[in-house]
């Protein structure tokens, strides 16, 4: 398919989907990573709070701290003890102070003796203070707890803190794991998106949305506009597509289409078919079947249907006229031979024999003509019988019209009578072909009890009872390579009038084909 320079520059559906998926996945991973970092930061802060509370409570309950607070110089004892504890616990500062905020210990010795900067009111009342405060060491998470004497009176305070820089450094140690998880998640998501887009690209053949929309519009318009029936069946035997003309020809509604048995059988035969006749109801369709492939894979079957009902009828009439013409040509040839014979006999002086020969030939021809014309008012049918009689004579077959034949021309259309009688006679002529002489075919056409009775009898090999149903089915034929449409057309016309057809054995051997069609009111 030529997409044109403008369409070639557009992104295909697969590429657009891949880009969209990568964008969405990246956004989701970024949100997830941000959430994970914030959660890790909260966890690190909570861990720092728990740690400073534990260290502060431990020092506040230490007897040495309470004893040092009651001495004249508490800093001498508390400063080294606080610094040793700070280094051991990994905290950033430990301050022991008097109730009036005077520091007795600090990481920066110059600040000892100066007032503590921070909130201590709750601790002075015997509670605990936990806060984030910007002090001399910068932003920190700190706690303040009271130190009590044996009587329960608050004699000092202990403050332990960890700077936010330390908390952030602790968080940075976790970031590689978070980054690795983020990278793995992004890689897996991108790989999945790439595989999905690759599969989609194969299925859409790299087409973009505009191309697929335009293709669908064009194909849909073509399928509705084409005057041939089109049926597409997938590899599972299900109807994948059927256009308007095919629905009309097959008599299918607007819903899911069920193929007629004749069409389903044609598709199931798994062979290429070109212009094969199929009878569907009262229609004669010409079907062509072929498998569809793509990259070596069988996608299904495409069946095209054309309506040849009128063409078949006209062809039948044309064949009848052609047969009559051939019969007249043969008769003219024979008449010329006989005339030449009569003239020669006259020249030889055998006049009486010449007159006798000419009279006998004229009586025989006139007798058949008078019989047919007198029995059948339908001119086309009468011409058909005369023509078939001449054809039979050329093949060495004696074709007779039963003297009981009587038919008015207004009972049934001449076209349908020609179809039924002509195909029955042709079938009988084919049946007796190749059999030893005498070869006979008898025709009876008459009105009987409100029905048109057509009976053709031959002395051929006959037809087995188990082959009767097949004989009136499309494709059955006694001829090699024949389409077997003749008796199927007889069945079609008979069923259209609500009539019946059957095959019986002839008394002396052969077959009797009988068709009865009710006369329309």
Q: What percent of the chain shows pLDDT beyond 70?
A: 72
Distance CA 436, CA 122 (A): 133
| Alpha helix positions (H), 242-397 | 244-250, 261-268, 309-347, 351-375, 379-394
For residues 64 and 79, give the distance between their C-alpha atoms in angstroms, rounded to a whole number: 12
Query: Per-residue pLDDT for 12 more than 70?
Result: no
d(CA 478, CA 162): 107
Q: What is the pLDDT of residues 389-434, one digit of tens each?
A: 777 877 888 888 888 888 876 778 877 888 888 888 888 888 888 7
- What lies within 8 Å, CB to CB, of 432 at 6+ separation is 397, 439, 440, 441, 458, 459, 460, 510
pLDDT tens readout for residues 108-167: 888 888 888 888 888 888 888 888 777 667 777 888 899 888 888 888 999 888 877 766
Query: Which tens digit of pLDDT belongs to each residue from 449-486?
Result: 888 899 999 988 887 776 666 666 654 454 444 445 67
Instruction: Provide the β-strand partners of residue 285.
Output: 278, 307
pLDDT tens for each residue of 437-457: 888 888 888 888 888 899 999
Q: pTM score > 0.85 for this model?
A: no
Do 112 and 75 meet the contact criterion of CB atoms below 8 Å apart? yes
H helices present in 155-206, as ranges = 164-204
Query: Could you tell me where the DSSP H helices lie in 205-260?
Result: 209-225, 244-250
Query: What does the block give as tokens for 16?
Result: 């657009």
Q: Do residues 242 and 253 touch, judged by C-beta distance below 8 A?
A: no
């Amino acid at each position: 398919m030529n997409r044109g320079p403008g369409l070639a520059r557009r992104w295909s559906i697969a590429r657009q989907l891949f880009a969209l998926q990568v964008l969405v996945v990246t956004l989701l991973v970024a949100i997830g990573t941000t959430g994970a970092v914030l959660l890790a930061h909260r966890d690190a802060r909570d861990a720092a709070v728990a740690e400073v509370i534990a260290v502060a409570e431990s020092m506040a309950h230490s007897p040495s701290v309470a004893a040092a607070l009651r001495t004249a110089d508490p800093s001498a004892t508390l400063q080294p003890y606080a610094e040793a504890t700070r280094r051991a616990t990994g905290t950033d500062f430990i301050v022991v102070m008097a109730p009036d905020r005077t520091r007795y210990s600090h990481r920066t010795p110059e600040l000892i003796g100066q007032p503590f900067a921070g909130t201590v009111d709750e601790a002075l009342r015997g509670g605990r203070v936990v806060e984030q405060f910007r002090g001399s060491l910068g932003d920190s998470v700190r706690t303040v707890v009271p130190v009590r004497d044996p009587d329960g009176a608050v004699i000092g305070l202990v403050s332990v803190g960890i700077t936010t820089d330390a908390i952030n450094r602790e968080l940075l140690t976790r970031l590689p794991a978070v980054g690795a998880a983020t990278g793995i998640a992004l890689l897996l998501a991108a790989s999945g998106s790439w595989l999905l887009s690759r599969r989609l690209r194969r299925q859409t053949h790299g087409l973009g949305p505009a191309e697929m929309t335009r293709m669908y519009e064009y194909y849909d318009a073509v399928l509705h506009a084409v005057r041939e029936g089109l049926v597409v069946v997938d590899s599972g035997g299900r109807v994948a597509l059927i256009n308007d003309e095919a629905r009309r020809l097959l008599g299918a509604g607007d819903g899911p289409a069920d193929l007629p048995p004749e069409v389903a059988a044609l598709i199931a035969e798994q062979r290429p078919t070109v212009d094969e006749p199929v009878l569907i109801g009262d229609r004669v369709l010409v079907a062509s079947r072929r498998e569809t492939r793509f990259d070596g894979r069988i996608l299904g079957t495409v069946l095209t249907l054309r309506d040849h009902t009128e063409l078949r009828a006209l062809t039948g009439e044309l064949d009848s006229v052609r047969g009559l013409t051939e019969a007249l040509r043969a008769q003219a040839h024979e008449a010329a031979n006989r005339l030449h014979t009569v003239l020669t006999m006259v020249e030889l002086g055998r006049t009486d024999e010449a007159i006798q020969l000419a009279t006998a030939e004229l009586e025989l021809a006139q007798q058949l003509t008078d019989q047919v014309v007198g029995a059948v008012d339908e001119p086309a049918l009468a011409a058909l019988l005369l023509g078939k009689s001449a054809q039979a004579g050329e093949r060495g077959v004696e074709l007779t019209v039963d003297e009981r034949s009587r038919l008015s021309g207004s009972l049934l259309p001449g076209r349908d009578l020609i179809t039924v009688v002509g195909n029955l006679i042709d079938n009988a002529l084919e049946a007796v072909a190749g059999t030893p002489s005498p070869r006979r075919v008898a025709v009876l056409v008459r009105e009987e009890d409100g029905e048109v009775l057509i009976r053709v009898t031959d002395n051929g090999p006959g037809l087995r009872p188990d082959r009767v149903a097949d004989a009136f089915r499309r494709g059955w034929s006694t001829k090699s390579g024949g389409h077997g449409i003749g008796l199927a057309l007889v069945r079609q016309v008979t069923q259209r009038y609500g009539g019946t057809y059957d095959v019986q054995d002839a008394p002396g051997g052969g077959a009797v084909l009988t068709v009865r069609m009710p006369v329309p009111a």
